Structure 1
Amino acid sequence: MVTARLESRDTFGISQGERRKMATRSPRKATKGKGKGLPRGITMRTGNYRVRVSYEGRQYECGIYETLELAKLALHKYQAECILGTFVPPVERRRQLKAMRAANAARNVTVAQWSQTWIESLATGPKPRSPGTIASYQSTVNSHILPGLGNKPLTEVTPDDIEDCVATAMQSGAGASRNVARTLRAMFNAAVEIGAGGLEASPVKLKISKGTSNARQDEEVPSLEEVNGLAAAMPPDTRLAVLLAAWCSLRVGEVLGLQRGDFKHLDQPGKTTVTIERQWLSKAKPPAYGPPKDDSYRTVVVPAALARKVQAHLDRYVLPNPEAPVFHSPIDSARPMSHNSIGKRWNEARAKIRPGTDFHALRHFGLTVYAQAGATQTEIMRRGGHRDADVAQRYQHSSLERDQILTARLNDIMEGVEE
């Protein structure tokens, strides 16, 4: 009995054995004399065979082949498609294939992949975020979002998944839970905006609490006695940090970013000023100076009683050069103190005077007392460095002279408490 062995054949009907034989033949032996005798639609090109067909009045190149046999098979295939009306130019076919692959890849974008793309965009967007803010987002994503959602495609994340992620973060505290919810909302809104991963609607449906800091502002503001008590409870080399944050309404990063040269006219009580032109980003990698939040560069007047404390602090703790940090690292006096270092001191101080008080409450205290001294909303915004395009024109009504008058009133209040 003779057993016939069947070989699989490709789309041209050629078996693997036949294709190997054709591939070993020299293309130059197939024809002689610069393409002479080749079928119409096949031409020689650098020793190979180029196939072309005409379709609807246009000529299309359909590929280059090593042997004449393959070129003829390709020509017959494409001519048949032209007759049947199913012909698609190879260039268009490659474009469609590329688009299909891109669409498939887009649908598979995971939360982990998108989170990194989103975080990287925060530094270069229309409103670039500070390195410290970006580092905070990265920490929230790594610690609370990726463990549960990282491997899920964006389009497969459900509102229930979001609620579970936020609920899990609650184990680390209400503050962590709110940060996770806000980060998820911002991250998915950004994905929807550009259609990342084919996402059309955000799965973040939950209502995000603002927390107690906004709900009980009056209770959050320390009293005059508490501010002085908090300053006194700090180590001597950082007592001034509390007073500057309170009486000049500075953010903690702005306090740490101060340098000796930022203070002017220390020998003229009532006219002493401090310029806020940077903040220290100790959470950035690597730590570095950066612009103040929202580019809120400003110069504010320092109360006379506080100016004397500033001079005493500079004389005792700060290097003589203008770039020397006012609050330096315990390890390197030429480098600013980190947020963690001053935070540890602050936590110990507030535990004795006002447990749970955030350092930012000092800034809120300063602006509140400034308003009580008679400042207008525009003057409060100027001193606090609140920058908003909608109210930018209001700044023209505020002046340094007016700031001196109002700060003098702050000084009276300050000296009254100290007596």
Structure 2
Amino acid sequence: MAKSALATPEEPKRPAKSSSPKRRFGRVRLLPSGRYQARYLAPDGADRPAPFTFATKREANRWLVLKETEIQRGEWMNPDGGMISFEVYATQWVDDRVIKRTTEGLYRSLLKNHLMPTFGKRQIGEIKDADVRQWRKERLGAVGQSTVPKAYQLLKSIMNTAVADELIRRNPCRIKGASVPDTPERPAIPLAKVLEIADAVPERYRALVLLGTFTSLRWGELAGLRRKNLDLDAAVVRVVGTLAELNGGKLVDDTPKSRAGRRVVAIPPEILPDLRRHLERYAEPGENGHVFIGPKGGLLRRSAFRRIWNKVQIKVGLPDLLFHDLRHAGNTLAASTGASLRELMTRMGHSSTRAALIYQHATQERDQVIAQALGKALKGARKEHGKKASGTQRARKIKKK
């Protein structure tokens, strides 16, 4: 039967719209601005956007692929972690440390005076390498050369912990050698000058100078020394404590700087008479009494002693002389005896070889001078030997004739 003329002709089927396959991780959407936003479900269960938008959909998809790989490898970090301010994190960092009171005081001072003014209000995730470099350059031009490396090392340690806490991906403190102070080595005081200093100080401090030089004790170790730890019969001093002065000026008994600081140091017998005389006249009574005290019986305070030391500097003609230079002189003398690296470390109370190597280096330089003198003597001997040889040859020629 023929189709009715009134029948509507069958319309051709339209091809279905092609659609890109649905992503199995994340999604991308077009923003009114014409740029693309990428979002993903993070391991913490939050729906997180990428930190920036993309010019093309391909770029957004590529970013999601990288983010998925990061999660699969266990390298994903919560982007909110680095949003904590440096001030809050650094303060908590110091609070959580089990450190000596003097060290804590140093850290809080460095934070307050050198790190907080620049980084305090910033989020730790925002601190970049360039920011650290700029801060260091400005600080080097404003404060002492030894302070900036300490502040830098503290900043580096805090940021290392932030990396370990997975708050930031990498430490922005990456300046090679910035933690090492660039301070010139102090010149060694000649032994004759040490004796001159011992004669120049008031009598009650003569033993302080001698013991500080010839046993390499630090100021705090001398100030905290007790009678019971100074064994003159055995000619040794036992270093088991130190007297620390906190930022507020308070004096407290403390332990040595490190485990290596607890040590027994032999005393040269030549200074024992001076030490015995000191114990009889000036030391605090009782076996627990301090060996060195002030004229009025108070604990030995560096600030009070400085007035006396200033007069000594003028008297001996060394205006830049530091009390620590006595320890330096003693260490240099010990190294010149041929002491090994381990022996120097033990005597000085150091746990690392760095400081001891300085003194061994000094003796090596002296050894070079000795070698040059030996070479000069050899040169003279050869010259004299050459004259004798020439004379013998002339005599032989005359005899032959």
Q: TM-score range by the shorter chain?
A: 0.5 to 0.7
**Match for residue 172 of structure 1 among 140, 143, 146:** 143
Give the % identical residues. 24
Task: Identify if the C-alpha distance between structure 1 residues 319 and 191 changes in structure 2 by more than 3 Å, giving closer, same or farther.
Answer: same
Q: Which residue of 1 aligns with 2:267?
A: 302
Q: Are residues 1:118 and 2:93 paired?
A: yes
Q: Which residue of 2 aligns with 1:377?
A: 341
Task: Identify if the C-alpha distance between structure 1 residues 157 and 355 changes in structure 2 by more than 3 Å, giving closer, same or farther.
Answer: farther
- Equivalent residue runs for 1:17-166 within 5 Å: 106-123=81-98, 129-166=99-136
Task: Identify if the C-alpha distance between structure 1 residues 382 and 105 changes in structure 2 by more than 3 Å, giving closer, same or farther.
Answer: same
Work out whether residues 226 and 353 of structure 1, in 8 Å CA contact, stay in contact via their aligned partners in 2: no
The secondary structure found in structure 1 opposite 2:146 is: helix
Q: Are residues 1:255 and 2:225 paired?
A: no
**Match for residue 278 of structure 1 among 226, 241, 257:** 241
Q: CA RMSD in A?
A: 3.4
Farther-moved stretch of structure 1 (253-262 vs 236-245)? 236-245
Q: Which residue of 1 aligns with 2:257?
A: 293
What is the rounded CA distance, in whole Å, between the counterparts of 2:108 and 2:174 in structure 1?
A: 22
What is the rounded CA distance, in whole Å, between the counterparts of 1:165 and 1:343 in structure 2?
A: 34
Q: Which residue of 2 aligns with 1:313?
A: 278
Q: Which residue of 2 aligns with 1:199?
A: 168
Deviation at 1:158, TM superposition (A): 2.4
Q: Deviations over 1:83-121 (max 9, x none)?
A: xxxxxxxxxxxx958xxxx96763322221122222233
**Between Structure 1 and Structure 2, which shows a larger proportion of helix residues?**
1
Please, which runs of 5 or more residues in structure 1 have no aligned partner?
1-94, 124-128, 390-419
Q: Are residues 1:227 and 2:205 paired?
A: no
Deviation at 1:345, TM superposition (A): 4.2
Deviation at 1:350, TM superposition (A): 4.0
Please, which runs of 5 or more residues in structure 2 have no aligned partner?
1-43, 47-76, 354-401
Task: Identify if the C-alpha distance between structure 1 residues 183 and 241 changes in structure 2 by more than 3 Å, giving closer, same or farther.
Answer: farther
Q: Deviations over 1:331-371 (max 9, x none)?
A: 6x3x5323433455445544654344443332232222123
TM-score normalized with structure 2 length: 0.60
How many residues align? The count is 280
Work out whether residues 238 and 265 of structure 2, in 8 Å CA contact, stay in contact via their aligned partners in 1: yes
Work out whether residues 82 and 126 of structure 2, in 8 Å CA contact, stay in contact via their aligned partners in 1: no
What is the rounded CA distance, in whole Å, between the counterparts of 1:347 and 1:326 in structure 2?
A: 23
Deviation at 1:152, TM superposition (A): 0.9
What is the rounded CA distance, in whole Å, between the counterparts of 2:97 and 2:304 in structure 1?
A: 27
The secondary structure found in structure 2 opposite 1:238 is: helix
The secondary structure found in structure 1 opposite 2:93 is: helix
What is the rounded CA distance, in whole Å, between the counterparts of 1:114 and 1:350 in structure 2?
A: 45
TM-score normalized with structure 1 length: 0.58
